[in-house]
Amino acid sequence: MTIEQARARDAADPLRHLRDRFVLPEGVIYLDGNSLGALPRATIDAGRDMIEHQWGERLIRSWTEGWMASPARIGGKIARWIGAAPEEVIAADSVSVNLFKFIVAALRHDPARRVVLSEAGNFPTDLHIAEGAVACVPGASLRVVERDALGDALDGDVALLLLSHVHYKTAERFDMGAWTRRAHYAGALVCWDLSHSVGAIPVDLAAAGADCAVGCGYKFLNGGPGAPAFLYVAHRHQAAWGNPLSGWMGHAEPFAFADAYAPGAGMERWRSGTPSMLAMGALEAALDAMADVDPAALEAKSAALFDMFAEAGDALGLECIVPRKADARGSHIAFRHPQAEAVMRQLIAQGVIGDFRTPDVLRFGLTPAYTGFEDIARATQMLGALLAPADCTAGPASV
Amino acid sequence: MTIEQARARDAADPLRHLRDRFVLPEGVIYLDGNSLGALPRATIDAGRDMIEHQWGERLIRSWTEGWMASPARIGGKIARWIGAAPEEVIAADSVSVNLFKFIVAALRHDPARRVVLSEAGNFPTDLHIAEGAVACVPGASLRVVERDALGDALDGDVALLLLSHVHYKTAERFDMGAWTRRAHYAGALVCWDLSHSVGAIPVDLAAAGADCAVGCGYKFLNGGPGAPAFLYVAHRHQAAWGNPLSGWMGHAEPFAFADAYAPGAGMERWRSGTPSMLAMGALEAALDAMADVDPAALEAKSAALFDMFAEAGDALGLECIVPRKADARGSHIAFRHPQAEAVMRQLIAQGVIGDFRTPDVLRFGLTPAYTGFEDIARATQMLGALLAPADCTAGPASV
């Protein structure tokens, strides 16, 4: 596809207007929104308001004027992206810390089951935190197997199946409904890590019958570097489950200053300490900036961007490691290349920002809200120029 | 003291110039910096740079351009306030989450000791989190006793003595050196919560021989609402102790993306998930704004502010619940009053912002960097007017 053809596709794109809601630096083609989402323009004013007005002018009064309620309010705004009821979601802490909460809670749900099952090569923090969490529950252990062995490993010892909905490297998407049913049939709970799906493709936790989920605020939700993460607990579990990180913000009456802990109602109990309001404010501004957008429309655009990139990759002879079937993947594309690290370094130097994932993966995020077809056309042209031998003797080693 | 006399003291105050480094709203006398520190002027530009340049323009590149190193860099800037070496401190998560890490780590230090000892009426999250943490270690329990019973309760079962250096309500200050020696003599470790002392009075963890400490970034350090907290581990424990919240940011090689967790060197292992960079940036700007200030000078100013407030309180017949001896307290003053809640509501309506602490405490923060003598003179005059009966029949019930 030529640049002109790509521009025509951008002009016909029903989501094209969303691009203007984001800051995209001059001279940069940003294909890393799956790692850190771009800055929504509205966040600039929201950040100024948060710092200069809410903190600077209102000071401590802001806690009752909106801050105390913001984790639940923000959770309510995330709900539409994940097929949850507003009161099933709350923003808090990091994905890592939230995974710890759920793994311990799930292991306490059924003391007869002592195994947390996850996938080899899952995002590292999921596995690292699971290691730490099982060490906090007597007799518990972590079982990590390859994806094709998960079914067999899902036996009567498994308390919790912990899966990433979309894989951070290969973009492979689990069939959430099917795997949730499979886990429930085996008597296990499921925790979905939505970090690489939320905000880019539709997620429907309610339809899947999921038990709990965590997700990231700084990828496709564009909440800013290290934005607060979120937690989801299905209504049916909310009263029974407890947060092992039982901090005062999750107390039933935080300002009663009682010595004894009593869990807050609903999702409030999943809070621990005092959250950063600058971080919360940025996440809320980003959610508001996308509140009118249909997740299904984003998925359709993502699929079109992917197909264009994949065809260009085929033409360059690149090995795509992402499933070609649209409903079997997330919203990034990745290729295996023996010199991936050097190629990505060169691309970034030329203004095409994707990333390298060890040991040999070139990864490009496709954020349907702001990535355009011209971006893909230009990026793949530059990638092609880098991979083409400069002359007959120099191969890809020259990059 | 008249307003004119107070102004003369402000004019003679060697720290008076520091006040100009903060935003203090018109018509407000802010005496709640012990709950939320005021906005440093430098943070306005730092916040804009963080959002518009570091995030908006540099995007993912900022992780290698300064973000990844910021928790340790910020920890190094906190070190001077707490008598630590720079490499003994790191900024991360909240006080609550960090307390959890240390309580579990300390209980694993000596499996023969199973008790965490703390003070009744300690700041609630310390006790709440301790409840949750002991439930994550087999056989462990929390023992909570009144302050005067702590010595007797410090027996051979105690793994960890968990104390707040300065009490959030009464401002009582523990003799850190004496209590650390006492705990060590009993074979226990000590964790100091510095939330109500750091940034206002000198703290010397090294001189005290402390084992570990946590502290808050949003009170006297002025890091912003819900600013990142910090952790301190003495050099001698760093290699042996592990973080139960073993997230990827604390991994020895976070970007190797290995399945198995391996703890990072030094304080790096105390990180868990991805921290908010907006929050980290605000905390760093606040630390930089006070980098040239001597903690001992702040303490001297705090003592002078306290004495002035205490004398006015005496004249009003108020019951001060804070020790009068300067080295036995922190940097706020508090009074018991049967109608404390109503009195504080009225004061706030008139622009004097302190806070009410259940059930009957009026609390006023004295932040030596920006609180002036005129502030105290005006605030105590308004307090006096509120407490004086409006006529012969109406008592304090009228407030």
Which band of pLDDT confidence, cut at 50, 70 and 90, is reported for residue B388? confident
| Residue B269: alpha-carbon gap to chain centroid | 23
Q: Is residue A124 part of a domain?
A: yes
Q: Is residue A141 included in any domain, yes or no?
A: yes
CB distance B292 to B43 below 8 Å: no
Q: What is the pLDDT of residue A388?
A: 86
What gap in Å lies between CA B249 and CA B280, rounded to an integer?
Answer: 15
Question: Hey, are the CB atoms on B272 and A28 less than 8 Å from each other?
Answer: no
Q: What is the ipTM of this complex?
A: 0.96
Q: B373 vs A394, which has greater pLDDT?
A: B373
At A136, list the tokens: 């906090």
Predicted confidence at residue A390, as pLDDT, reads 58
Any idea which residue has 């003797």 for tokens? A393
CB A13 within 8 A of CB A372: yes
pLDDT tens per residue, range A213-222:
999 999 999 9
In angstroms, the CA B283 to CA B277 distance is 10
CB atoms within 10 A of CB B260: 10
For residue A73, give both structure tokens.
């309010």
What is the total count of domains within chain A? 2
Kindly identify which residue of chain A lies nearest to residue B252, measuring between CA atoms.
A128
CB A51 within 8 A of CB B282: yes
- Rg, chain A, Cα only: 22
| Residues in chain B closer than 8 A to A123 (CB atoms) | 248
- Min distance B162 CA to chain A CA atoms (Å): 14
The verdict on A229 and A298 lying in the same domain is no
Confidence of residue A395 (pLDDT cuts 50, 70, 90): very low
Contact flag A226-B276 (C-beta cutoff 8 Å): yes
Residue A278 and residue A344 share a domain:
no
Q: Are A70 and A56 in the same domain? A: yes
Q: Chain B contact for A146, CB < 8 A?
A: no
Q: Give B72-119 pLDDT, tens digit per residue.
A: 999 999 999 999 999 999 999 999 999 999 999 999 999 999 999 999
- Contact between residue B251 and residue B262 where contact means Cβ atoms under 8 Å apart: yes
Active site residues of A: 123, 193, 218-219, 363
B56 contacts in chain A (CB < 8 Å): 23, 25, 38-39, 44
Q: What is the DSSP string of A118-142?
A: EETTS-HHHHHHHHHHHTTSTT-EE
CATH of the domain at B320: 3.90.1150.10
Predicted local distance difference test score (pLDDT) of residue B375: 98
Only one residue has tokens 């690292």, namely A128
What's the start-to-end Cα distance of chain B, in Å?
A: 25
Domain boundary among A227, A258, A289: A289
For residue B332, pLDDT over 80 is answered with: yes
* Domain annotation covers residue A42: no
Mean pLDDT of A142-166: 98
pLDDT tens-digit map of A107-137: 999 999 999 999 999 999 999 999 999 999 9
CATH assignment at residue B201 = 3.40.640.10
Enumerate residues 6+ apart whose C-beta is below 8 A from B356. B340, B341, B344, B345, B362, B363
Above pLDDT 70, what percent of chain B? 97
CA distance B62 to B43: 19
Backbone angles phi, psi at A355, to 5 degrees: -145, 165
Last residue of a domain, one of A289, A309, A340: A289
Q: What is the mean pLDDT of chain B?
A: 96
| Three-class DSSP category at A204 | coil
Nearest to A172 by CA among A326, A330, A301, A340: A330
Q: Is residue B35 part of a domain?
A: no
Q: Across residues B238-260, what is the average pLDDT?
A: 96
Q: Which residues of A touch B229 (CB under 8 A)?
A: 273
CA distance to partner chain A, nearest, from residue B295 (Å): 24
Over residues A232-266, the pLDDT tens digits come to 999 999 999 999 999 999 999 999 999 999 999 99
- Domain termination site, one of A246, A263, A289: A289
Confidence of residue B392 (pLDDT cuts 50, 70, 90): very low
Longest dimension (CA), chain A: 77
- Tell me how many helices (H) and strands (E) chain A has: 13, 15
Task: Supply A354's token pair.
Answer: 């994707």
Higher-confidence residue: A389 or A116? A116
- Contact of A116 with chain B, judged by CB distance below 8 Å, is answered with no
Which residues of B are identified as catalytic?
A: 123, 193, 218-219, 363
Does residue A67 sit in the same domain as residue A54? yes
Q: Under an 8 A CB cutoff, do A128 and B226 touch?
A: no
pLDDT in tens, A32-64: 999 999 999 999 999 999 999 999 999 999 999
Cα–Cα distances in angstroms (integers) from residue B177 to residues B37, B146, B183, B211, B328, in the given order = 27, 20, 10, 12, 13
Q: Select the more confidently predicted residue: B396 or B339.
A: B339
Range of the domain at B383: 3-30+294-398
Check if B247 contacts A (Cβ < 8 Å).
Answer: yes
Q: Which of B181, B176, B159 has the alpha carbon at shortest distance from B84?
A: B176
**For residues B187-215, average pLDDT:** 98
Beta strands in chain A (DSSP E): 22-23, 29-30, 39-40, 89-91, 115-119, 141-145, 158-164, 189-193, 212-215, 230-233, 319-320, 332-336, 352-353, 355-357, 361-365
> Do A177 and A315 belong together in one domain?
no
Inter-chain CB pairs, A–B, below 8 Å: 275
The pLDDT value given to residue B156? 97
Sorting pLDDT into bands at 50, 70 and 90, what band is B1?
A: confident
- Whether the per-residue pLDDT at B252 is higher than 80: the answer is yes
CA dist., res. B203 & res. A218, Å (int): 36
Query: How far is the C-alpha of B375 from the C-alpha of B362, rounded, in Å?
Result: 16
Q: Does B249 touch chain A (CB under 8 A)?
A: yes
Q: Within a domain: residue B111?
A: yes
pLDDT at A5: 97
B54 assigned to some structural domain: yes
Q: How far apart are CA A169 and CA A262, in angstroms?
A: 41
CA–CA separation, B21 and B233 (whole Å): 31
Helix (H) or strand (E) holding A107: helix A95-109
Whether B115 contacts B143, CB under 8 Å: yes
Would you state the pLDDT for residue A268? 98
CA angle (A259, A241, B160) in 5-degree steps: 40
pLDDT band of B390, cuts 50, 70, 90: low
- Assess whether A150 and A245 both reside in one domain: yes
Q: Say if residue A231 is in the same domain as residue A121.
A: yes
Check if A56 contacts B (Cβ < 8 Å): yes
Q: Which tens digits make up the pLDDT trace of A335-355?
A: 999 999 999 999 999 999 999
- A228 and A136 in one domain? yes
B173, B240: one domain: yes
pLDDT of the residue at A267 = 98
- Assess B69–A contact: CB distance below 8 Å, yes or no: no
The verdict on A254 and A323 lying in the same domain is no
B274 interfaces chain A, CB cutoff of 8 Å: yes
Q: Which of residues 182-221 of A touch B (CB under 8 A)?
A: 218
What count of residues does chain A have? 399
CA dihedral (A78, A82, A86, A88) in degrees, to 10, reads -110
Question: Phi, psi (5° rounding) for residue B263?
Answer: -65, 140
The pair of three-digit structure tokens given for residue B185, joined into one six-digit string: 């003599």
Q: Rounded distance, CA B173 to CA A310, Å? A: 65
User: For A93-115, what is the mean pLDDT?
Assistant: 97
How would you classify residue B330: left for phi > 0, otherwise alpha for psi between -120 and 50, otherwise beta?
Answer: beta
CB contact at 8 A, B154 and B182? yes
3-state secondary structure chain B: CCHHHHHHHHHHCCCHHHHHHEECCCCCEECCCCCCCCEEHHHHHHHHHHHHHHHHHCHHHHHCCCCCCHHHHHHHHHHHHHCCCHHHEEECCCHHHHHHHHHHHHHHHCCCCCEEEEECCCCHHHHHHHHHHHCCCCCCEEEEECHHHHHHHCCCCEEEEEEECECCCCCEECCHHHHHHHHHHCCCEEEEECCCCCCCCCCCHHHHCCCEEEECCCCCCCCCCCCCCEEEECHHHHCCCCCCCCCHHHECCHHHCCCCCCECCHHHHHCCCCCCHHHHHHHHHHHHHCCCCCHHHHHHHHHHHHHHHHHHHHHCCCEECCCCCHHHECCEEEEECCCHHHHHHHHHHCCEECEEECCCEEEEECCCCCCCHHHHHHHHHHHHHHHCCCCCCCCHHHC
Whether residue B374 sits in one domain with residue B279? no
Query: Which residue pairs, CB below 8 angstroms and at least 24 apart, start in A143-151?
Result: A143/A115, A143/A116, A143/A117, A143/A118, A144/A117, A144/A118, A144/A119, A144/A120, A144/B259, A145/A117, A145/A119, A145/A120, A146/A119, A146/A120, A146/A121, A147/A119, A147/A120, A147/A172, A150/A117, A150/A119, A151/A182
pLDDT at A1: 83
Give dist(CA A149, CA A163) in Å, integer. Answer: 13
Residue B393: the pLDDT is: 43
Give percent of chain B above pLDDT 90: 97
Q: Which two tokens stand for residue A61?
A: 């009064």
Q: Does A177 lie in the same domain as A311?
A: no
* Cα–Cα nearest to B248, from B230, B275, B276: B275
